[in-house]
Amino acid sequence: MCDNDKQKIIIVGGGLVGSLCACFMAKRGHEVTLYERREDIRTSKIVTGRSINLALSHRGREALRSVDLELEILNTSIPMRGRLLHTLSGKTTSIPYDPVTKQCIYSVSRNFLNQALLKAAETYPNVKLHFNQKLVRSNFDEGTVTVLNTNTFETSEDTADLIIGADGAFSALRRSMQKTPLFEFSQKYVEHGYLELSIPPERGTLMAPNHLHIWPRGAFMMIALPNQDSSWTVTLFMPFQRFSQLSTREMILGFFKDIFPDSLSLIGERELVETFFEKKPSALVSIKCKPYHVGSRFLIVGDAAHAMVPFYGQGMNAGFEDCSLLNQLLEENNENFPETIRKFSEIRVASAQAICDLAMYNYEEMRNLVTKPTYHMRRALDNVLFKILSDKWIPLYNSISFSHIDYMKCLENRKKQDNSNPNCFQQSDA
């Protein structure tokens, strides 16, 4: 692109998707201005927002590779080659993610990844990062946004050829879009909240490495993802009503001794009780909307467009894939922004809504169905057929996590597989 072709892009949100999107757009030669409402997490002593670990898989890796960041991130991540199921009695069972081609997913720290992406974005001379800047108004007719400096309480107006909202599940830009004609929006909360716990390094070495650990208990579930320092990030999922009932030290410890007995010595009784008293469980929301653009300049991506519950590990990966798709469409449309964002909505809405639905369903899988014999029988059948007919029979989990096949196509393939053998066990993978 020559200098005369440079256009200005505003990105609202400096989280994972926003900072990666800045790298993509800067690499294309555009002038990028990023506004983030929080402080710079690289210098802030107190990091706000979620710190839950994330599972990086194929779609996210492909996006990072496009901006030359894949190896840097993988070198600081932990490969997880399968799930390790913990029974009530303490017995564990390893279930490889991909026993045929041996692919794996990676545990990565959200905060580390966000810092790395911001650092990468800042290396481009055509990127300007602005923190403590809150979006307060959008003018779709004039192509302007107004931001509030949360330190000085002064407002300023800015304009651009393309304005991208990557400001999360409670996106300010999407809220403005919701006021426009024909814009559809829905959100659904699950009755279960989550509380983040941890296993310290000195006890983390007792955990089987290179796995995502799962304690499936029907109405409850706990998972643990590994960190570089041998600690583990543990997340407890259960109904809010049950959280509220655990109001004393005795109740908390009694619950864990009954439901997750083998985890208690790893987390530590004191640390467990302190966390329950210091933190409140967080909510989980699934958001759908369409279209993803308004007018000829405004577009939303990532959680702003399709926030999903975390039970398929695709929230970040889908957001990163948004960046890849946007980059591809800009190339195909010769940097024509209006045509690109229209096409983005046309292509992406159904696909993103499909993975939102699958993530919602998968909670039932992870906390309950993985304990059923039919689940393991179906997986065994899938793996045998995949080994014999790898070009025709791809298990659902493999197509979601280890390919860039459109999410809708992944589900269509699964339905065809189920219909081809009505006697097989018709359930999706956890």
Claim to verify: residue 239 and residue 383 sit in the same structural domain = no
Q: pLDDT by residue (tens digit) across 356-392?
A: 998 987 776 666 555 556 655 556 555 555 556 556 5
Residue 307 in this model has a pLDDT that exceeds 70: yes
Is 251 among the domain residues?
yes
**Residue that finishes a domain, picked among 230, 253, 278:** 278
Residue 3 in this model has a pLDDT that exceeds 60: no
Claim to verify: residue 122 and residue 181 sit in the same structural domain = yes
The pLDDT score that the predictor gives to residue 392 is: 59
pLDDT (mean) for 58-71: 98
Residue 164 in this model has a pLDDT that exceeds 80: yes
pLDDT (mean) for 394-400: 83
The pLDDT score that the predictor gives to residue 421 is: 57
Least confidently predicted of 29-33, 142-146, 397-401: 397-401
What is the rounded CA–CA span in Å between residue 69 and residue 138?
Answer: 32
**Is the Cα dihedral 173, 60, 291, 293 positive or negative?**
positive
24-43 burial: b if 16+ Cβ within 10 Å, else e = bbbbbbbbbbbbbbbbebee
- CA-CA-CA-CA dihedral for 87, 90, 91, 93, to nearest 10: 60
Claim to verify: residue 137 and residue 35 sit in the same structural domain = yes
Domain hosting 39: range is 3-53+109-188+284-363
> Between residues 393 and 222, which one has the greater pLDDT?
222
Q: pTM of the prediction?
A: 0.91
What is the rounded CA–CA span in Å between residue 268 and residue 11?
Answer: 42
pLDDT (mean) for 204-217: 95
Claim to verify: residue 296 and residue 314 sit in the same structural domain = yes
Give me the number of domains the chain comprises.
Answer: 3
Is 135 among the domain residues?
yes
Claim to verify: residue 258 and residue 318 sit in the same structural domain = no
Claim to verify: residue 169 and residue 290 sit in the same structural domain = yes
- Token couple for 48: 């706000």
Claim to verify: residue 171 and residue 234 sit in the same structural domain = no
Claim to verify: residue 116 and residue 241 sit in the same structural domain = no
The packing angle between helices 337-367 and 407-420, to 10°, is 50
The pLDDT score that the predictor gives to residue 101 is: 83
Claim to verify: residue 34 and residue 178 sit in the same structural domain = yes
Is 104 among the domain residues?
no
The pLDDT score that the predictor gives to residue 428 is: 41
